[in-house]
């Protein structure tokens, strides 16, 4: 089904490029938003603010690593971007809700 | 190739390694040298090769530096001598915000003339974490990207290594370069996995506030005020404005003794006087972490005129964890066995990256020769320049340090800058040489390493009189160690160059090229 | 003096531990002893022995330097020791013969 246009050299380059962008920048953006919302949730739960920041940020690297590995192993680049966007939206919403309550 | 998880990880490992391997080698190489950065400093700044003094009088020191501190200075600071740094390190910030930094003789409190070099702590160490690319902190972002790539490489490497347990202790150099380099790559990668993982992750965690500033949005909001609040609460801070009236300085030694009592025996490692000469001047002392892994943030502030304790700070629990993890990477503690083990482990990381390249190049060369392509020449040039090239450049940096006379300048560049120019120009030259003479590049650069390393030892002896016999008998271990390592490098590089020379003579095709397809889980 | 002795002891224990773990593998047993041997009996005894030696090394490290420095020292010593065992197997596998003899005298079996 995909052979006709997927074999075209330009299409392959675009697909690889989109996957790279999604992995590196999309993955970072999603991680950053998740870290921010985690920090907000922790602070709201009563953890000291500076502690909440460090506690939510340190696992960020592990999360980013997981996202990178997933981004390069998932078959569909479209699905990659959709998942990243959905995750980012969810994190952003959580962050907004928690901070609004402050 | 079918898109399975294994195949994806194999392709990822190969491409990530090829594209970022050169940068990773540079970071690992500089990082390994950083283990002994203070010792490199002693070698590159001969006038700091002093004996350790144990009694430093802070009051005597304050009187000695009083004339050097500019009138409207915002602060002056002295780092006390340690096991590895025998001098006092004085620095002050004048009214305009410029920094003056000098070494002081611990016996006489006199300023040691500027040695005109950035040395280990000023060049090699910042290169390791920031590549000296300060525009928009691009260097730190590249290093961060390289570090994340390293983590990806480690995990994908493990996933892809079919016989990870069976080949745990396997190394077969006699079966040829391809087999030998792949075995060594896997050996250092798998056995060293805890080390490489810990160093990469801890390196990133040191800069957690830089790489994830968004973490502060959740708890503090955004903007400068939020950032300042976070910094103060996490790292501790105490400020009070100038009074713009003259003031006195009480006994610093008394403040240090009181700090020691407060810290239940902990010693201060530096003293800083804020708003010197002002009525609102205050003194900051921080606790040494030479005996711990955790790089504590313990700090005490005293009123300068009365010696009254104003403020005390200690890191909170989670912050302490971050400082412990940072300490695993920074290794500022006094422990010589560990320091040497870290050095060897760092070198093994360099071997891991280099053997990965060697294996990949060998496999690619065979494939390209069959297909009649020439692209491998570009990549091989990049590899040689990135591996032997940066070593040659580092040695040229050391040699320039011994060759350039004091006070040299050229085209507006001072001596320290000229040393650094030497590093970069020689590095570029190595890339050019690798592209120009591809067949002989490895061998010729190995010879260059051999010759320049030996030259460094000889130059040190000639320019400072501190040859190995003298430094060993006088127990100037820093210099002796550096010379010894340089001599070892000379021998190793010569051995490699001779071996490569013999191989060039019998350039027979390897029996049964090892390809990644047979090695990799799919 | 004591810290140096403890380091040496911990290094030796670590080396011995990894040597046992390596010899528990048929291929390396064959390299060291020069003869083929069935895998199962060796694995059953050499592996626990190897792990025990690693435990001894850990205890020595912690005794020398306390819990955090000790653990760190042990991890790095293990790295060096495992590589050393691999290199021994590559260039002088028969150096591990004493371990083979020791095992044989203790095991009293094939």
Decide: A and C in contact? Rule: 3+ Cβ pairs under 8 Å.
no
Q: What is the pLDDT of residue B511?
A: 41
The pLDDT of B392-413, averaged and rounded, is 95
**pTM for the full model?**
0.94
Total number of domains in chain B = 2
Asked if A94 is an interface residue toward chain B (Cβ–Cβ < 8 A), one would say: no
Q: How confident is the model at residue A84 (pLDDT cuts 50, 70, 90)?
A: very high
Residue B230 has pLDDT above 60, yes or no: yes
Q: Is C79 in contact with B348 (Cβ distance < 8 A)?
A: yes
Q: Are residues B137 and B159 in the same domain?
A: yes
Closest chain B C-alpha to A81 CA, distance in angstroms: 18
How would DSSP label each residue in B179-234?
HHHHHHHHHHHHHTHHHHHHHHHHHHHHTHHHH-TTHHHHHH-SSHHHHHHHHHHH
Strand bridging mode B409-410 / B413-414: antiparallel
**From B183, which residue of chain C is nearest by alpha-carbon distance?**
C86
Residue B414: strand pairing partners: B409
Q: What is the ipTM of this complex?
A: 0.94
Domain containing residue B75: CATH number = 3.10.450
The pLDDT of B478-490, averaged and rounded, is 97
Which other chains touch chain B, taking contact as 3+ CB pairs less than 8 Å apart? A, C
Q: What is the pLDDT of residue B104?
A: 95
Which of chain C's residues have a Cβ under 8 Å away from the Cβ of B293?
Answer: 68-69, 72
Q: What is the pLDDT of residue B55?
A: 83
Residue found under tokens 């915002």: B74
Q: How confident is the model at residue B417 (pLDDT cuts 50, 70, 90)?
A: very high
Residue B509 has pLDDT above 50, yes or no: no
B513-516: long-range contacts, CB 8 A cutoff, minimum separation 24? B513/B178, B513/B362, B513/B363, B513/B366, B514/B176, B514/B178, B514/B179, B514/B182, B514/B359, B514/B363, B515/B363, B516/B10, B516/B14, B516/B363
Q: Which domain holds residue B63?
A: 46-114
Q: How confident is the model at residue C110 (pLDDT cuts 50, 70, 90)?
A: very low
Q: Are residues B478 and B515 in the same domain?
A: yes
Q: How confident is the model at residue B510 (pLDDT cuts 50, 70, 90)?
A: very low
Q: Are residues B401 and B473 in the same domain?
A: yes
Dihedral sign from CA coordinates of C1, C7, C10, C12: negative
Summarised one tens digit per residue, pLDDT across range B321-365 is 999 999 999 999 999 999 999 999 999 999 999 999 999 999 888
Mutate to test the interface with B, among C19, C80, C86, C95 (most CBs of B within 10 A): C86
In a domain, B63, yes or no: yes
Residue B477 has pLDDT above 50, yes or no: yes
Query: Among residues B114, B147, B169, which one ends one of the domains?
Result: B114
The pLDDT of C23-32, averaged and rounded, is 89
How far, in Å, CA of B236 to CA of B300, rounded? 10
Mean pLDDT, chain A, rounded, equals 92
Query: Among residues B68, B83, B114, which one ends one of the domains?
Result: B114
Which other chains touch chain C, taking contact as 3+ CB pairs less than 8 Å apart? B
Mutate to test the interface with B, among A3, A47, A48, A50 (most CBs of B within 10 A): A50
Of residues B169, B195, B328, nearest to C89 (C-beta): B169
Which of chain B's residues have a Cβ under 8 Å away from the Cβ of C22?
Answer: 168-169
In a domain, B13, yes or no: yes
Closest chain C C-alpha to B193 CA, distance in angstroms: 9
Q: Which domain holds residue A18?
A: 3-100
How would DSSP label each residue in C57-96?
HHHHHHHHH-HHHHHHHHHHHHHHHHHHHHHHHHH-GGGG
Which of chain A's residues have a Cβ under 8 Å away from the Cβ of B9?
Answer: 69, 72-73
**Cβ(A77)–Cβ(A18) below 8 Å:** yes
Residue B497: partners with Cβ closer than 8 Å, 6 or more residues away: B443, B446, B447, B450
Q: Are residues B501 and B402 in the same domain?
A: yes
Of residues B8, B205, B318, nearest to A72 (C-beta): B8
Residue A94 has pLDDT above 90, yes or no: yes
In a domain, B166, yes or no: yes
Q: What is the pLDDT of residue B504?
A: 73
The tokens of B18 are what? 């090829």
Asked if A19 is an interface residue toward chain B (Cβ–Cβ < 8 A), one would say: no
What H or E segment, with its residue span, contains residue B111? strand B111-112
Q: Are residues B94 and B135 in the same domain?
A: no
Give residue ranges of B with CB < 8 Å to any A CB.
3, 5, 8-9, 12, 145, 148, 151-152, 155-156, 201, 204-205, 208-209, 211-212, 214-221, 229-230, 233-234, 316-319, 321-322, 325
Q: Are residues B392 and B412 in the same domain?
A: yes
Asked if A53 is an interface residue toward chain B (Cβ–Cβ < 8 A), one would say: yes
Report residue B480: phi and psi, to 5°.
-60, -45
How far, in Å, CA of B139 to CA of B131, rounded? 5
Residues of B (291-350) whose Cβ lies below 8 Å from C: 292-293, 324, 328, 333, 335, 337-338, 341-342, 344-345, 348
Closest chain B C-alpha to A42 CA, distance in angstroms: 8
Summarised one tens digit per residue, pLDDT across range A2-19 is 555 556 889 999 999 999
Q: How confident is the model at residue C37 (pLDDT cuts 50, 70, 90)?
A: low
Total number of domains in chain A = 1
Which of chain C's residues have a Cβ under 8 Å away from the Cβ of B195?
Answer: 75-76, 79
Residue B390 has pLDDT above 90, yes or no: yes
Asked if B166 is an interface residue toward chain C (Cβ–Cβ < 8 A), one would say: yes
Q: How confident is the model at residue B222 (pLDDT cuts 50, 70, 90)?
A: confident
Secondary structure of B222-286 as H, E, C letters: CCHHHHHHHHHHHHCCCCCCCCCCECCCCCHHHHHHHHHHHCCCCCEEEEEEECCCECCCEEEEE
Query: Among residues B74, B90, B114, which one ends one of the domains?
Result: B114
Q: Are residues B148 and B168 in the same domain?
A: yes
Mean pLDDT, chain B, rounded, equals 93
Q: Are residues B422 and B488 in the same domain?
A: yes
Q: How confident is the model at residue B512 (pLDDT cuts 50, 70, 90)?
A: very low
Summarised one tens digit per residue, pLDDT across range B36-79 is 999 999 999 999 999 888 789 999 999 999 988 888 889 999 99
Measured CA distances, B218 to A50, A54, B113, B395 (Å): 11, 11, 49, 47
């Amino acid at each position: 089904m995909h052979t006709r246009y997927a074999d075209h050299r330009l299409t392959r380059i675009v697909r690889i490029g989109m996957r790279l962008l999604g992995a590196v920048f999309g993955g970072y953006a999603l991680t950053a938003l998740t870290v921010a919302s985690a920090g907000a949730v922790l602070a709201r739960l009563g953890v000291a603010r500076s502690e909440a920041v460090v506690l939510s940020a340190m696992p960020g690297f592990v999360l980013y690593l997981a996202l990178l590995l997933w981004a390069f192993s998932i078959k569909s680049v479209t699905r990659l971007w959709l998942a990243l966007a959905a995750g980012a939206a969810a994190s952003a919403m959580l962050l907004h809700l928690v901070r609004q309550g402050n | 190739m079918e898109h399975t998880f294994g195949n994806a990880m194999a392709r990822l490992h190969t491409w990530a390694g090829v594209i970022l391997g050169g940068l990773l080698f540079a970071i690992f190489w500089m990082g390994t040298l950083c283990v002994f950065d203070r010792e490199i400093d002693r070698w590159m700044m001969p006038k700091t090769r002093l004996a350790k003094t144990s009694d430093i009088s802070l009051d005597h020191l304050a009187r000695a530096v009083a004339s050097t501190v500019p009138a409207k200075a915002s602060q002056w600071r002295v780092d006390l001598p340690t096991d590895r740094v025998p001098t006092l390190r004085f620095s002050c910030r004048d009214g305009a915000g410029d920094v003056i930094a000098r070494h002081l003789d611990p016996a006489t409190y006199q300023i040691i003339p500027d040695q005109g070099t950035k040395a280990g702590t000023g060049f090699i160490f910042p290169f390791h974490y920031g590549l000296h690319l300060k525009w928009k902190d691009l260097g730190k972002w590249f290093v961060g990207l390289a570090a994340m790539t390293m983590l990806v490489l480690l995990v994908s490497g493990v996933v892809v290594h079919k016989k990870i347990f069976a080949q745990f202790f396997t190394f077969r150099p006699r079966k040829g370069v391809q087999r030998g380099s792949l075995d060594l790559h896997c050996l250092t990668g798998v056995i060293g996995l805890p080390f490489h993982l810990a160093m990469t992750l801890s390196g990133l965690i040191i800069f957690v506030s830089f790489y994830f500033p968004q973490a502060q949005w959740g708890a503090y909001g955004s903007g400068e005020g939020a950032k300042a609040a976070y910094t103060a609460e996490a790292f501790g801070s105490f400020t009070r404005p100038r009074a713009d009236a003259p003031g006195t300085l009480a006994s610093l030694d008394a403040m240090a003794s009181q700090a020691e009592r407060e810290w239940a025996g902990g010693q201060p490692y530096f003293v800083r006087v804020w708003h010197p000469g002002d009525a609102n001047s205050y003194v900051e002392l921080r606790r040494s972490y030479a005996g711990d892994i955790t790089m504590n943030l313990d700090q005490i502030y005293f009123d300068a005129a009365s010696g009254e304790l104003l403020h005390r700070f200690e890191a909170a629990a989670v912050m302490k964890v971050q400082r412990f993890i940072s300490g695993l990477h920074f290794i500022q503690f006094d422990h010589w066995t560990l320091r040497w083990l870290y050095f060897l482990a760092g070198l093994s990381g360099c071997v891991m990256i280099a053997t990965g390249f060697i294996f990949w190049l060998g496999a690619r060369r065979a494939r390209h020769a069959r297909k009649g392509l020439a692209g491998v020449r570009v990549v091989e040039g990049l590899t040689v320049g990135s591996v032997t090239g940066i070593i040659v450049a580092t040695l040229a940096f050391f040699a320039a340090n011994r060759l350039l006379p004091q006070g040299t300048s050229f085209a507006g560049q001072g001596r320290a800058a000229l040393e650094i120019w030497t590093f970069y120009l020689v590095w570029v030259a190595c890339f050019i040489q690798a592209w120009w003479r591809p067949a002989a590049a490895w061998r010729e650069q190995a010879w260059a390493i051999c010759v320049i390393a030996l030259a460094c030892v000889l130059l040190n002896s000639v320019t400072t009189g501190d040859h190995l016999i003298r430094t060993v008998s006088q127990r100037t271990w820093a210099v002796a160690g550096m010379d010894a390592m340089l001599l070892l490098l000379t021998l190793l590089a010569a051995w490699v160059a001779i071996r490569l020379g013999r191989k060039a003579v019998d350039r027979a095709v390897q029996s049964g090229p090892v390809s990644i397809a047979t090695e990799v889980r799919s | 003096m004591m810290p140096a002795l403890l380091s040496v002891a911990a290094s030796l224990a670590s080396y011995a531990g990894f040597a046992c773990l390596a010899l528990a593998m048929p291929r390396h047993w064959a390299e060291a002893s020069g003869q083929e041997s069935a895998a199962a009996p060796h694995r059953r005894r050499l592996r626990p022995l190897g792990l025990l030696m690693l435990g001894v090394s850990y205890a020595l490290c912690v005794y020398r330097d306390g819990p955090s420095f000790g653990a760190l020292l042990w991890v790095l010593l293990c790295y060096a020791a495992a590589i050393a065992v691999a290199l021994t197997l590559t260039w002088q596998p028969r150096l591990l013969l004493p371990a083979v003899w020791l095992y044989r005298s203790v095991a009293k079996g094939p």
